[in-house]
Amino acid sequence: MADSTILQPEGLEQRYERYKEKIKHFTIMNDIFMRNVLKETACTEYILQVIMNRTDIKVIDQTLQKDYKNLQGRSAILDCVAKDAENNFFNVEIQGENDGASPKRARYHCGLLDMNLLNPVDPFDRLPETYVIFITKNDVLGYNQPISHIQRRIKETEDIFQDGQHILYVNSKKQDDTELGRLMHDLHCKEADEMYSNILATRVHQLKETEEGVNQMCQELEEIYNEGKQFGFLRGEQSGVQKGELKKARETTLALLEMGMSAEQIAKAVNLSIETIQNWISETSF
């Protein structure tokens, strides 16, 4: 249950104490915690090696939580886009919401990657191999498989259509005694010492059990808290609030929800109606 006093007047030190309690319960399947774990490139590299079943993947660059836009301005914030030494690009998404991992969402992510990876003067053959990877809390596709690989095929011959585009769904409910299953287990662990992977356990330990890591997490939660307070100017929901502002308010709402706040507390923080907040929360239920 959310702490009913979290939005009462209090100092920074008091809020940090509350944040520390929240941090103890975070797992890598939590969006806020995940992006901090993946700031350690070795963690991204390990996750990709397991999912792709390749030990030779070497991540040389990555971008976390970047807002990618199309020509019409429709955007999506991609959790992690990593580039390997062979110029392959991987978009890794942790998805707790079923609708956040719909087939058309995967298609859109593929398109955003293509639009942002090809320079204006480059021929289309320069498009790199891309992999959109959804790690989902639920079995979104309903096939009861630990991993599903999606590629286009030529209907008449069943040959793979070699466009270099790949989509993978990884079902985190499958936590069997395989390398992939153990990784899925680790993504749901609250404690570092419960993890199989030394790489992930070391990073989780750093963020949860060292002064530097805990302070880093507290600072990020404080930024989210302050973002919520900044939405005081959105009182007039029905009087010309920009779509972009509401989009940001919705993202902040979901982040505050992950921090354990109730709908009533969130409504107070972002200064929107409880009905709006409840609608956003219901849209993300699974």
Q: Which residues contact 34 (CB under 8 A, 6 or more apart)?
A: 28, 79, 94
| Selection from 150, 97, 111, 107 nearest residue 286 by Cα | 97
Query: What digits encode the pLDDT tens for the residues 4-28?
Result: 444 445 577 888 888 898 899 999 9
Q: What is the pTM of this model?
A: 0.80
Q: Which two tokens stand for residue 35?
A: 């992006």
- pLDDT tens readout for residues 30-47: 888 999 999 999 999 999
3-state class (DSSP) for residue 61: strand
Report the distance separating Cα 97 and Cα 64, nearest Å: 19
Outline where DSSP puts E strands in 50-198: 59-69, 75-84, 89-95, 130-136, 147-150, 165-171
* Averaged pLDDT, 244-251: 67
The 8-class DSSP code of residue 25 comes to: T
Rounded Cα–Cα distance for residues 61 and 230 (Å):
33
Q: What is the mean pLDDT of the chain?
A: 85
Give the torsion through C-alpha atoms of 8, 13, 14, 17, to 10 deg: 140
pLDDT tens digit sequence for 216-225 = 999 988 887 7
* 114-167 confidence digits (pLDDT tens): 989 988 899 999 999 999 999 999 999 999 999 999 999 999 999 999 999 999
pLDDT tens digits for range 147-160: 999 999 999 999 99
Residue 202 pLDDT level (bands cut at 50, 70, 90): very high
Which stretch of DSSP H or E encloses residue 214?
Answer: helix 211-229
Whole-number Å distance between alpha carbons of 103 and 155: 19
pLDDT at 241: 42
Q: pLDDT value at position 180? A: 98
> DSSP readout, 249-286?
HHHHHHHHHHTT--HHHHHHHHT--HHHHHHHHHHT--
Tokens 């058309």, located at residue: 104
Is 213 within 8 Å of 26 (Cβ atoms)? no
The residue with tokens 């992930």 is: 200
Q: Which residue has the higher pLDDT, 268 or 192?
A: 192
